[in-house]
A and B are shown apart, each in its own frame.
Chain A
Amino acid sequence: MRDGEIRATGVWKRFRADRQRQLLRDQLDRMKRRLAGRSNAHGYRWALRDVGMAVGPGESIGLIGPNGSGKTTMLRLLAKVMYPYAGRVAVGGRVGALIDVRAGIHPDLTGAENVYLYGSLLGVSRREVARKFDEIVAFGELETAIDRQVKFYSSGMHVRLGFAIAAFTEPDVLLVDEVLAVGDAAFQQKCLDRMRAVLAQGTTVVFVSHDLQAVESICERAVWLRDGVVESDGPVRDVLGDYRRTVEQAAEILTPAFGLVRVVKSEIRGPGGDTPVSQQPLEVKLLLESPEPIWASMSIGVSEGPATPIFLLGHEAMLPAGQTELRCSIPFLPLPRGRFYLWFGIIESTRDLVPWHPVGQFEVLGPELTPTPRGILRMAPVQVTPTWEVEER
């Protein structure tokens, strides 16, 4: 097994369904049941089922999936914090795990004391921590706070402290679980830069996050877990694309149960009434039905699936009672090739006449999105065609 290599085959992990109760009474109960020949199996739920994963040294892999899909459990198995119920997990070399950076930090100690404590926990010798102390403090931007007790830190400072220590431990495999979410934008970028630097040194990175853009900017490959099962594993853009679509499909089932105004029909067309094309005009037609005349402030959004639109179009108009057709045209569609979703809502401060929900999907033809270099966070896939000139002087 080479350093930085991860091999997991047929991994199963289960938890007791009711994890809180660990009393003598419960144990006696279980023992009684086992003696009576009845199994305790119904008291468990599977967190991971037959998960396989092979990662080579220096690879960067993103673990994605909804809450409770087993991402963190998988990470804990890789970190050797937990043991599998079945299957094999092997990780080569030293593992640095950033699973909830606040765990190792004691609120009553000062920042400096915590640097040594957390360093020790991550397996770094005191001498090494002492050598890198100034670097760690500078990275976390904690120069003025390092001698203060951590309980007086803001939550952002807390995370910065944790990440700064962990970032300087130089492991062969770095496991990162959703730690960037708390820091501010500037620090997030710093963390991404640091992870890229770590990758450049040949460290293997496993990154768990709900922030798909961050995953995309760090990882070449992604594994999508769904209910503890690997749903797909492949190049990051493909897996993320699949994932976004499913998130959308799940949303579509939830056709709004309330709302005064109803969307009867939606139509999305490109030039000449055909499939929309990148950089070309686009027309959206919505058939709305209202029981009464209403002054409506309407919003149309386009997204890759989730409720957060890439761009938003707003318009206010009087809707008479009965059916109304709303037409909206844009002269220039700034999207790359791919599948997109149309969201619609009529939202007022007092009531939602139409809740924000997806009303249709469409394919866009045209050029592929310009690839993002690692470590740059792109918020949304907007494709702009520029003219370049490179002139020697």
Chain B
Amino acid sequence: MTSASTRATEPPADTLFKLRVRIIPAIREVWQRRELVRTLAERDLRVRYKQAFLGVAWSVLTPLALMIVFTVFFQRVAKVDTGGAPYALFTYLGLLPWTFFSTSVNQGGQSLVTNNQLVNKVYCPREVFPLASMAVAAVDTLLATLVLGLLFVITGFMPKPTSVWVPVMLVVQVTFTFGVTLIMSAVLVFLRDLRHVLPIILQLGLFATPVAYGMDVVAPQYRVLYSALNPLAPVIDGYRRTILLGLPPDWHLLGPGAVTSALLLAFGYVVFKRLEPGFADYA
């Protein structure tokens, strides 16, 4: 037994805990616990539908309402060049990826804080919380996509065969969204008041992204830079080109967007892993 008086008041410097971020084993662990992501997403969905009277309709309501607003205002006020496609379809194709992104970042960004009871008490790879939020957002998007089908029927407009390119854009979209969500969730644990700023930033983001308008608003010489800064822009543009216009994606724009997305995800994952030891202490 050591008496308290002879005890050091600080740990010896050479024993300080050093964090080693090992990405591959970390990813493997998340993969092993993929069932947990599903269960957590299921929990959030079940809880939401138990509490909400309108249930499934909520998933569809947000993009639908915005679509109607945009259609009513933008179509009348500003003449947007849709390349001949109905404006409702044009803007809805922008709203789908945007809503997925904004819900993911908003919900996933707060996921470590809202799940602090679990972060504090149960061990699991912490990535599951933002991932589960994204899964919920994905379900919403899927439901909202059913409405897209309905819109095609109503407008009598047929999707073009070039729609087979859609998965390429989808990969870029998910990569970018995941990267931003990871960074947001990790940083939010330490900067709590960011929680209140986040909705405002996302609100502005909606207008910095070609949702209501098309890529042609941006001067041609800035489009590459714009795509690199906001990968959602070439993604949305790609969806419109392939589904509505029968064109292949604009690779000169999608390429930089994909590079940014990949770099952002890699950076975000490292940030997340580096901040992870503090989550339980502060969440």
Contacts and interface: CB of A to CB of B under 8 A. Distances in A.
Nearest to A49: B7
Contacts, number: 119
A292 to B, nearest CB: 46
B43 A82 contact: no
Nearest to B51: A108
A109 interface: yes
B122 A81 contact: yes
B121 A104 contact: yes
B193 A24 contact: yes
A85 B17 CA distance: 5
Main secondary structure of the interface of A (DSSP, over half): mixed
A229 B7 contact: yes
B214 to A, nearest CB: 37
B55 to A, nearest CB: 14
Interface in B10-32: 11-12, 15-17, 19
A329 interface: no
Interface residues of A, number: 46
A81 B280 CA distance: 6
Instruction: Determine the interface band of chain B, counting residues with CB < 8 A from chain A.
Output: 35 or more
A108 B7 contact: no
A121 B118 contact: yes
Interface stretch (A15-23, A243-251, A256-264): A15-23
A125 interface: yes
A211 interface: no
Given A22-B190, A27-B190, A97-B121, A109 B17 contact: no
B47 A12 contact: no
A229 to B, nearest CB: 6
B18 to A, nearest CB: 10
B250 interface: no
Given A24-B193, A27-B191, 18 more contacts: A16-B281, A16-B282, A24-B194, A25-B193, A49-B11, A76-B120, A79-B123, A80-B123, A81-B121, A82-B277, A103-B117, A117-B39, A117-B40, A121-B118, A123-B33, A123-B36, A123-B124, A126-B39
Interface of B: 1-2, 4, 7-9, 11-12, 15-17, 19, 33, 35-36, 39-40, 42-43, 46-47, 50-51, 117-124, 189-194, 277, 280-282
5 contacts: A10-B15, A12-B15, A81-B120, A97-B122, A109-B46
